[in-house]
Amino acid sequence: MGITQRSSPQPTAVAQGNIEYVERFTYLGSVISSDGDVEADINTRLAKAAAVFRRLDNVWRSSTLSLKIKLDLYTCLVVSTAIYASKSWKSTARICQQLDVFHQRNLQKILGITWKDHMTNMKMLSRTGQDIVAERRLWRAGHIIRIPPG
């Protein structure tokens, strides 16, 4: 069998003109690429979630709000933004690591932990009672029957 080359896309006519062929476009906030790669979509999602996280900086630094309220806000606003439309993402080690790093960094900021504190990720997760973002993605995709606490 020979190697098949990708042929150039056939023009699609609608009304009086052709639809323009593009490699990547945004639809309902998700980046769709012609080769099915989700890297751009993930990077866009994490950038949007990071912007939401930064806008709530006063909440994270507040001494009047309990940790539970901060974590509930984080889960509802930031995590939901980060993993929106994640059902369509392939699950690779690199993607899971990218999500976990984002999650851990945010939890460190909420808890006021710096690198000088030498706290492990597992200790931080147990302290916050937060599930790992990958578990929430599985739940949203229907692979876990009930939502994990957090």
The count of structural domains within the chain is 1
Token reading at 15 = 């009304």
Contact 46, 98 (CB under 8 A): yes
In a domain, 78, yes or no: yes
At 145, the pLDDT band (50, 70, 90 cuts) reads very low
In a domain, 123, yes or no: yes
In a domain, 5, yes or no: no
Token reading at 69 = 């309220």
In a domain, 30, yes or no: no
At 36, the pLDDT band (50, 70, 90 cuts) reads low
In a domain, 125, yes or no: yes
In a domain, 86, yes or no: yes
Which residues have CB under 8 Å from 113's CB, separation 6+? 107, 119, 124
- How far are the Cα atoms of 26, 78, 143 from residue 123, in angstroms, in the given order? 38, 21, 26
At 14, the pLDDT band (50, 70, 90 cuts) reads confident
Predicted confidence at residue 1, as pLDDT, reads: 47
In a domain, 7, yes or no: no
**How far is residue 38's CA from residue 81's CA, in Å, rounded to a whole number?**
16
Predicted confidence at residue 134, as pLDDT, reads: 54
The boundaries of the domain holding residue 94 are 36-140
Contact 46, 102 (CB under 8 A): yes
DSSP 12: E
Predicted confidence at residue 133, as pLDDT, reads: 57
Which residues have CB under 8 Å from 86's CB, separation 6+? 45, 137, 140, 141
Token reading at 14 = 């609608």
The answer to whether residue 46 scores a pLDDT higher than 50 is: yes
One-letter amino acid identity for 22?
V
At 143, the pLDDT band (50, 70, 90 cuts) reads very low
**Residue 40: HSE in the Cβ half-sphere, 13 Å Cα cutoff:** 14
In a domain, 89, yes or no: yes
Give which of 58, 49, 66, 42 is closest to 105, Cα–Cα.
49
